[in-house]
Structure 1
Amino acid sequence: MANVNPPRGMRDFLPAEKARRERVLAVIRDRYRAHGFDEIETPVVEDYARLHSGMGGDNEKLSFSILKRGLDANDFVAAAGDVSALADLGLRFDLTVPLARFYATNRGDLPTVFRSIQMAPVWRAERPQKGRYRQFVQCDIDIIGDASARAEAELIVATLDTVDAFGLDGASVRINDRRALDAMLDVFGFTPEERPGVLITIDKLDKVGADGVVAELRERGVTASAVDAFETFMQRPQTLEFRPFGEDQIRKALPAGMPDDVIAHLAGIGEVVTAARGEAPLVFDPFLVRGMGYYTGTIFELAHPSVNYSLGGGGRYDGMIGRFLGQDVPAVGFSIGFERIVDLLENNEADSAPAVVLVHDKNVDVARLIALKAELVREGMRVRIEQRTKNLNGLLNRAQADGYGAFATVAADTTRETLELKQLG
């Protein structure tokens, strides 16, 4: 028998789960639009060269490539394993690279400060495992053309508002700046050549702790005195008094000699978020890294106390659009982890419209049946028609699992006036 399973790392969704996912998407879209963002759409494929231009970090290695049309055996021999000679397109691995290309293409038709929504599937050649898929949905909001702290604050406020709409109280945003990270590594004494590898190791701090990071840095063979300085900083005495997010908290978490403009930018984000929400649920994390190579400034992750992983993240990528235009354009984005949000929410949401199953006898006139259905639809109901079976309970259980909350039996003489709706469950 042929294998009928979907490709590894990809999934089918039954009607009830698909409906649930669409409800979550609708809430996210509604909240994003309420904050002044406008939805766009980009192709699922981009040029191979664009997807492998160094903007996507490690995700470029996970890109699905599309072979050129009309290749023959000689082309494969001539390529000698060079994929770039065989492929001219690839499936997008995120929505940020396509957005940068979209803006460069359409900037003449867009406002000076453009606020975009993208909600669409992306593809990565991951090793499939629990919670990690090869096809998944991303929900991005981005602001292009605003270099001020207002842009980050708008993204954070809109994201927290969206999380609030799901009833996920207690969410917070961890925040840092890649410029602060670079300055800190410079103060410790790591060379510019060592920094990419050092950041990879520091990114493991939550998993292996400070001692584990120090041990791995020594194994890497990076500047010993810099590792010593990092270890000393991690072991420094720290008091536990509460400090709200702001300049004092940020300076206390960093070594001396950090750039004042970076600290002021981060503190400014907190001031705007506080003005909008009455508080700033922000946590400055000097060792938040985020792996994307295109980040140039602020970076952040969405956290919730119920889980030990992030529910989204993003950052500023001021250099990316300049790759297409020849001049830098400030840009910053925040992506909610749609798949993780869906998994976290309880499956107790119902459609806004009443959903009814009409169970009819075999002898009911088709015209009468469809007319009755049309009348209920005009009243604002969602209606499914099912012919009565011997196992009526099984039919109704299936309907309930698909999101239907009521049923009615239809006989040959049933009218709208005599139709009796009964609740399922």
Structure 2
Amino acid sequence: MRDFLPAEKARRERVLAVIRERYRAHGFDEIETPVMEEYGRLHAGIGGDNEKLAFNVLARGLDADKIRASADDPASLTDLGLRYDLTVPLARFYATHRGELPGVFRAVQIAPVWRAERPQKGRYRQFVQCDIDVIGDATARAEAELIAATLDTLDALGLEGGSVRVNDRRVLDWMLQSFGFDEAERPRVLITIDKLDKIGPDGVVRELSERGATPTAVDAFGEFLRRPAPDTSPFGDQHIRTALPDGIPDEIVAHLVGIGDAVAAARPGERSIPVVFDPFLVRGMGYYTGTIFELAHPRVDYSLGGGGRYDGMIGRFLGQDVPAVGFSIGFERIVDLLEGDADAADRAIVLVHDRDVSVAELVALKAGLIADGARVRLEQRPKNLKPLLERAAADGYTGFAFVRTGDVAASLEVKPLA
């Protein structure tokens, strides 16, 4: 968990302002949910490994005797927990307020979440998530809207050239079935497939064999992995079928093709469709039921976000299934990626005044500059001016001016802070 100094906080807020403006332009409405949810909801088996990283909150009114009596079952002492993502709270929110929301609800949530991570670069115990979700639409339009809005937001942040890797959990399940993996072993097989980029085809086959996966299925899958590189034609029906074993159900392919066609239509100036089919994209969250995707950018070798369709989650709270799909961008990663980029600075001036200038003159001068659209800070002139100006520049100020008794805004000589 981190503190942020003024310049860094200002930069984060500028990035957040761009994200909010772009998502709002795409028709998404921002909501807010509590930082805590009920323990049973956060540990209902729908949060994957994140449930193990949850910060749990002790019930109020416990005394020493109750705590000692529950030493073997500490979970029984908790009734709340800090949210570890924004999807579980959204599902609860929708189930609670469904009657007040439109039939197809497009939500934005931008807020901190908490996980008991081991702190390291890029891993924090408190971090901001930026989620957009479409609830109530089972068609490819929902995924296309999410992808188009996300790519547009990346462009607005100065990160043009992003693309989205797309797959479908139904593709993965069908593919593993076609190779002969039993249903019970498929979750473990997917964990190994998720390492394909790191350990390669031979490493995947070796690990599956060591884990005791069905030998004939491992052999068939290994042969498939080692086949000649498939056709790299543009995203579409032929490309998807070429990348998979024969016999993939038509409705799954049609859904994926519909996403690509819609995104291409939303971004007509692109030389190629910014959607890439990846039959081995897994995404670890167990609640995904259909399309899954990850946001890629050529400047980094890790994803900048991801998401997928989770049609079964809301039904856990509502009693009936409601189609839902979401996309979360990695705000912390994006901020770090933009760290060396120059921010478009506002007109921000430090007024360095002599000791004898009256408070009334200073406040009036400051108010006039603010009314003219500037950001203004007052500083009394020190003996050594350099540290003051360096601090102001670090805080995002772009210019400074000396103020003496009787000065007016029109007479100030604003010099650049460089």
> Is residue 264 from structure 1 mapped to residue 258 from structure 2 by the alignment?
no
* Unaligned residue ranges in structure 2 (runs of 5+): none
* Contact 1:316 1:331 survives alignment (8 Å): yes
* Unaligned residue ranges in structure 1 (runs of 5+): 1-9
- Taking the TM superposition and a 5 Å limit, the aligned residue runs for 1:63-78 are 63-78=54-69
Counterparts of 2:141 and 2:402 in 1: how far apart (Å)? 58
For residues 66-92 of structure 1, what are the alpha-carbon distances to aligned partners after superposition, in whole Å with 9 as ceiling and x for unaligned?
Answer: 111111122222223323211111110
Q: 1:203 aligns with which of 194, 198, 205?
A: 194
> Is residue 117 from structure 1 mapped to residue 108 from structure 2 by the alignment?
yes
- Taking the TM superposition and a 5 Å limit, the aligned residue runs for 1:2-401 are 10-239=1-230, 241-278=231-268, 279-345=272-338, 346-351=340-345, 353-401=346-394
> Is residue 422 from structure 1 mapped to residue 412 from structure 2 by the alignment?
no
- Counterpart residue identity of residue 238, structure 2: D
Counterparts of 2:72 and 2:116 in 1: how far apart (Å)? 18
Shift of 1:415: 2.2
- Counterpart residue identity of residue 411, structure 1: R
Number of aligned residues: 414
Shift of 1:275: 1.3
Counterparts of 1:12 and 1:63 in 2: how far apart (Å)? 21
Shift of 1:261: 1.0
- Give TM-score, length-normalised by structure 2: 0.97
* Contact 1:48 1:88 survives alignment (8 Å): yes
Counterparts of 1:258 and 1:57 in 2: how far apart (Å)? 28
- Give TM-score, length-normalised by structure 1: 0.95
- Counterpart residue identity of residue 308, structure 2: G
Counterparts of 2:409 and 2:374 in 1: how far apart (Å)? 13
Counterparts of 2:13 and 2:377 in 1: how far apart (Å)? 19
Counterparts of 1:238 and 1:369 in 2: how far apart (Å)? 71
- Partner SS, residue 111 of structure 2: strand
- Partner SS, residue 360 of structure 2: helix
- Counterpart residue identity of residue 372, structure 1: L
For residues 220-266 of structure 1, what are the alpha-carbon distances to aligned partners after superposition, in whole Å with 9 as ceiling and x for unaligned?
Answer: 11111111111011112235x54110111111111122222111111
* Contact 1:350 1:403 survives alignment (8 Å): no
After superposing the two structures, state which structure 1 stretch, 251-260 or 91-100, moved more: 251-260
* Contact 1:20 1:347 survives alignment (8 Å): no
Counterparts of 1:90 and 1:84 in 2: how far apart (Å)? 11
After superposing the two structures, state which structure 1 stretch, 164-173 or 299-308, moved more: 164-173
For residues 208-229 of structure 1, what are the alpha-carbon distances to aligned partners after superposition, in whole Å with 9 as ceiling and x for unaligned?
Answer: 1111111111111111111111
- Counterpart residue identity of residue 146, structure 2: L
- Partner SS, residue 40 of structure 2: helix
Aligned Cα root-mean-square deviation (Å): 1.1
- Partner SS, residue 184 of structure 2: coil
- Counterpart residue identity of residue 261, structure 2: E
- Counterpart residue identity of residue 344, structure 2: A
- Partner SS, residue 256 of structure 2: helix
